[in-house]
Every structure is written in structure tokens, then in C-alpha cells.
Amino acid sequence: MRSTPAPNRSSKAPEPLYRRRPIGRTFLPALLIPLLGCTTEPASALPDGAQEFVPPTAYQVWWASTEGCSGIRGTLGRIKWYVVPGVSTFPTAEGEKVGIRIKTGDEVRIVLAGNYVEHEMVVRHEMLHALLNRAGHPAEYFQDRCHLTWETWAASRPTNEPPPPPPNGDVLS
């Protein structure tokens, strides 16, 4: 009886084990691509002190109003809401803000300064960013259609409504 394996009679040398790919390693990445989505957006950190919160019921009415003025439909429930309690602004890479929309892949987060969490214009401004699915402030939407800037909000309110608090240099995202 032989104790050593029989010599390989094929003309080709066997492939080393480290070069062989198990079938799962060949097909698995191709199967995962649709599940992971195509995105190059980096994960963005929340501002210091941000805490997740459940949006008040008024946000549903504000969402419907924002869908109405923009003509764009969306799902409010896909947004995760955060507040930085007790502040008028919070620092971001672009400077101090009262609110910001952060999109990472399919995840949408809106962060609000605590002093503005009940301010309709600020909340709806960030909602509009979520509906538009983009940064920037196209005048067609933010000024003309929805009046969601400091300047256009006050001018669009009925005269019997109190004006919003002065912006004090606070910047919307």
C-alpha cells in the first residue's frame, strides 16, 4: 500500500488552495449589491448632544402642508427625528444651524435645535429638504411655492398671526 498520494496525471498543476474561491464568495457580493443600494454618501455624525425624539402630531399636519405646497409626496415615517435640547443653534461643518437634514444611504435624519422644535417654518423647511431629497434651496420651492425662508415666511402669514421669533442670525440648513 502506498502512503503518499498518487501523482497528478493531468497536464495542469492543481490550483493552490488560497487561490480557489468558494462559490459563496463568487456570487454573494453580486447578490448583496441590490440590497445595499448604490450610494457613496458617507455616514454623517449627529451634532453633539442630539437625542432622538418622537415627532409631535402637529408634524403630520405640517408634512401634509409641505407636500401640498411642493407638489411632492413622501413618507413622514421614514424620517428619524433628533433634537439638541436647550439651544438655539448647534455647530455643523457649514457653521451654526437651527436645523439640518442628514441623509446617509436611504436613512434620513432631521436634527433641530431645541428652541425651534415647535417652530413650524423651521420644521417644514427641513421637511422640504427631505421631500426634495437634496441640499440647497431652490427658490421655486423654498421661496415661491412654500415660503420656507426667514424672509418669505413672515410675509406669507396672515396679519392676525404673531410673527416668528427674530432669526438673530440663526441659519437654516
Q: pLDDT tens digits, residue range 121-171?
A: 999 999 999 999 988 999 999 999 999 998 888 777 765 555 555 455 555
Q: Give the chain's mean pLDDT.
A: 78
Q: Dihedral of CA 90/84/130/106: which sign?
A: positive
Cα–Cα distance between 137 and 148 in angstroms, integer? 10
Decide: pTM greater than 0.85: no
What pLDDT score was predicted for residue 19?
Answer: 46
Burial of 151 per CB tally in 10 Å (0-12, 13-18, 19+): exposed
Q: In the predicted model, what is the mean pLDDT of residues 55-71? A: 97
CB 113 within 8 A of CB 88: yes
- Parse the chain into domains and list their residue ranges: 51-156
